[in-house]
Chains A and B, each alone.
Chain A
Amino acid sequence: MIPETGHFALILAFVVAIVQGSLPMIGAHRRDPAWMALGTPAALCQGALIAIAFLCLIGCYVTSDFSVLAVVENSHTDKPLLYKIAGVWGNHEGSMVLWVFILGLYGAAVAVFGNHLPVPLKARVLAVQGLIGAFFLAFILFTSNPFLRVDPAPINGNGLNPILQDPGLAFHPPMLYLGYVGFSMAFSFAIAALIEGRVDAAWARWVRPWTLAAWCALTLGVAMGSWWAYYTLGWGGWWYWDPVENASFMPWLAGTALLHSAIVAEKRESLRAWTILLAILTFSLSVLGTFLVRSGILTSVHSFAADPARGIFVLVILFVLTGGSLVLFALRAGRLTDNGLFAPISREGGLLLNNLLLATGAGTVLLGTLFPMVADAFHMGKISVGPPFFNIVFLPLMVPLVLAMAVGPHLSWKRGDLPGVLSRLKLAAVAAVAMMVLTWVLDGGPSAVLYAAGGIGLATWLLLGTLAEWAERVHLFSARPGEIWRRAINLPRGAWGMTTAHLGLAIVIAGITGATAWRVEKVQVMHLGDSVDIAGLQVRLDSVEDNVPGPNYVAMRGTFTAHRGARVVAVFHPERRQFAQPPTTTTFAAIRTNLIGDLYVVLGEPDGDGGYVTRIYHNPMVPWIFGGAIIMTLGGLVSLSDRRFRVGAPPRAAARLAAAKG
């Protein structure tokens, strides 16, 4: 009964999505208020129906209803409850339901919070949301029905791939999807604006909070994905430039560019056509990611079971959405003229440079990701594009970006004073160079890796440049403490958000540099009592215990102790877990962090001779990467709380006037 309810809810949602995608659009064209008003209830209804379907699917998993094929294939009664629920989106069918569920949430959010939008704009935005929903619901219903029954029902299920049975993976897909799907809002607004042929400051102000929200979720999602790879794959790496990782990184780059160009569109009524194009591309890259992961056209270490038929369907969706919107763009972009003129050296100029570099970066990653396919097409052989390509091509693009990032916020709109700004950044520049030299010397002088000094210098430059901008705004070095406090409190949340997010990136850059340059890896066969020297510690293998029972696995658990001299600093319990269903072995790395670096211990195969293959890594500064990403997300959230985005918040001056009168 529950699966059928869910299935019917999906079918109804599909029908409602078609209504939502057509009537309000026609209504907006005919200026018919009744038809336009239909968008709001339709969006709410669609959101509710998909929520019902999603809950039904969760219900099937929680109750282990093995008459449902997807549950049989991905669940097992022995699985802990968290993973029964996470199993819902740990596979193709369920993850698509999660995808449309989030789409439905966003649509409903516009319906509820969009009362201040002009009526035709709201109708068109909701209609585009409805169309996207209709496409993906059709995809689910026709190619990947999650409620498909099996008869006879098996006694038990096949279980979830153990590598997915992890808290990191339970939460990271919903975060990623909140990001991917969140960019559909910017897309819908862009299409609505193209249809109306009008992009003004108000439009940009409506688009920005949605983009910002999606960006926050995606930033956190990418960081969580990286964290998951770091601690579950057992190789001590946190980014592999794998197609699936790139699929999440490309929309992030494009979304970051969009976030910044929307500022120009909002404040200076400039870069409008470009902002629209970015909105289209960002969402298209999100859908492309969905497509790449499912079609099997690229080889990846982690992707869903490949199915060309599904691939074709997502491709058709991508073709209609992206192709259609680019046709619209080609037809209408000519009308979008820019009012605000600006000198190359100006805040706008800085943001334009940021956009140029980020967009090129996204293009580079796209090229690297799809190149194996291109090479194959032109008979250049089957190749794979690995980290060297991305390191050589992508990272150099990021250097000028970070250099400019410290300068940009200091520049004024329209025409900036570069020499003046640079003289204000003298201290930051001196400190950055000093840090580079210091890093180089501490790292061993001539034998040091050069990029380490460069990376630390860049991070310092960005950190101090950003702080300098904040210090200037609050008059840190010239005003009395009370005045500084007052200024800091009155600083717009948007400015606080920018400062926080940029500081977060500085920390990420330092983390990436340290983690890449100073990582130590020791792989060896250890017998009980053997010690390995790493990072000034002696790590000793004390014991190995076999057949340690877990909830749905048995583990071989090692006990390692790290000593400094005679003192025990840390105890590690890495495991090799043998899952019964499906029969798979996973490694569970033991990680000990002190927030500056991680010690990472992996227990490998026994060599049959009383020894064990062990891998011990010292990963300095890895926690900074994840910590920095969290700070960036916080920055985004702070900016999101800025009162100019808040629904119904009266403009500041009006509020103050009212207060004065009262």
Chain B
Amino acid sequence: MDRRTALLPLVLFLALAALVVWRLVLMDRGDLPKDIPTVMLDKPVPTFDLPPVAAGQPGLSTADFKGKVTLVNFFATWCVPCREEHALLANLTDKVAVVGIAYKDNAAAVQNYLAGQGNPYRQVGADADGRVAIDFGVYGVPESYLVDGEGRIRYAWKKPFTPEEIRTRLLPLVAALTP
């Protein structure tokens, strides 16, 4: 076997090893691979106009974010953690405007769900094909975004809310953003 060919596996291995070391160093600094970055933070809300889940009700569009602090909650009726989070959202309605985006769901199921579990949302948009979720950078449901009065995303929470998260981070931020 040629000398240089015989060296190739070693070179490839060293490159791989360097990469792994780099990753471990990052982890040591607290950057875990499972932490998902929020691309949309501090950017304006994507432009969208979603139909309502039932005829006659309001849908949801970018224009609805003007002038007030809004919590956008992506949810789905087929998502068990969303059901768990639902009760927490109901307690928020008097503190911040909560709107929902039904992610890849059918309208009848959503209506049924909101009728049965209570409806914390002022407006619900039906994102049937999940395009708006992509624009927001949604990885899965539930996810929530806090939008300020200028239509800018100020906070993102990429899992079901916990009472602690609401108390320690969400509500103080709502208070700070509300004029």
**A, B co-complexed:** yes
CB within 8 Å of B: which residues of A?
A: 273, 277, 280-281, 284, 295-299, 306, 308, 311-312, 315, 318-319, 322-323, 326-327, 329-331, 333-334, 336-337, 370, 372-374, 376-377, 381-382, 605, 609
Query: Is A273 within 8 A of B24, CB to CB?
Result: no
Cα A414 to Cα B135 with chains together (Å) = 60
Query: Is A334 within 8 A of B23, CB to CB?
Result: no
Query: Is B17 within 8 A of A315, CB to CB?
Result: yes
Cα A329 to Cα B28 with chains together (Å) = 33
Query: Does B55 sit at the interface, judged by CB under 8 A?
Result: no
Additional A-B contact list (16), CB under 8 Å, known A299-B34, A329-B6, A605-B80: A297-B20, A297-B23, A297-B24, A298-B33, A308-B24, A311-B24, A315-B24, A318-B17, A322-B13, A330-B6, A330-B7, A331-B6, A333-B6, A372-B33, A377-B22, A382-B36
Contacts of A337 in B (CB 8 A): 1
Cα A622 to Cα B72 with chains together (Å) = 42
12 A–B contacts from the bound complex (CB under 8 Å): A273-B1, A295-B24, A296-B33, A299-B34, A308-B24, A311-B27, A315-B24, A319-B17, A322-B13, A323-B13, A326-B9, A329-B9
Contacts A297-B20, A315-B21, A609-B116; A382 near B33 (Cβ below 8 A): yes
Across the interface, B10 reaches (CB within 8 A) one of A308, A326, A336, A372, namely A326
Query: Is B1 within 8 A of A334, CB to CB?
Result: yes
Residues of B contacting A: mostly:
helix
Query: Is A334 within 8 A of B6, CB to CB?
Result: yes
Query: Is A376 within 8 A of B10, CB to CB?
Result: no
Query: Does B179 sit at the interface, judged by CB under 8 A?
Result: no
Query: Does B14 sit at the interface, judged by CB under 8 A?
Result: yes
Across the interface, B19 reaches (CB within 8 A) one of A281, A298, A318, A377, namely A377
B160 to A: closest C-beta gap in Å = 15
Contacts of B17 in A (CB 8 A): 315, 318-319, 323
Query: Is A327 within 8 A of B10, CB to CB?
Result: yes
Contacts A298-B33, A308-B27, A382-B36; A281 near B9 (Cβ below 8 A): yes
Contacts of A323 in B (CB 8 A): 10, 13-14, 17
Across the interface, B1 reaches (CB within 8 A) one of A284, A312, A336, namely A336
- Measured CB to CB, the nearest residue on chain B to A281 is B9
Q: How many residues of B contact A (CB 8 A)?
A: 28
Contacts A319-B17, A334-B1, A382-B37; A297 near B10 (Cβ below 8 A): no
Cα A381 to Cα B10 with chains together (Å) = 28
B40 to A: closest C-beta gap in Å = 13
Contacts of A298 in B (CB 8 A): 33
Query: Is B6 within 8 A of A296, CB to CB?
Result: no
Query: Does B16 sit at the interface, judged by CB under 8 A?
Result: yes
Contacts of B23 in A (CB 8 A): 297, 373, 376-377
B24 to A: closest C-beta gap in Å = 5
Contacts of B36 in A (CB 8 A): 382
Contacts of A306 in B (CB 8 A): 27
Contacts of B28 in A (CB 8 A): 308
Give per-residue flags for B78-113: 1 if the beta carbon is below 8 A from chain A beta carbons, else 0: 001000000000000000000000000000000000
- Measured CB to CB, the nearest residue on chain A to B12 is A326
A304 to B: closest C-beta gap in Å = 14
Query: Does B3 sit at the interface, judged by CB under 8 A?
Result: yes
Q: Which 6 pairs between the two chains have the least Cβ-Cβ distance?
A: A333-B6, A326-B10, A273-B1, A330-B7, A299-B34, A333-B1
Cα A295 to Cα B41 with chains together (Å) = 30
Query: Does B129 sit at the interface, judged by CB under 8 A?
Result: no
- Measured CB to CB, the nearest residue on chain B to A338 is B1
- Measured CB to CB, the nearest residue on chain A to B78 is A523
Contacts of B20 in A (CB 8 A): 297, 315, 373
Cα A368 to Cα B10 with chains together (Å) = 21
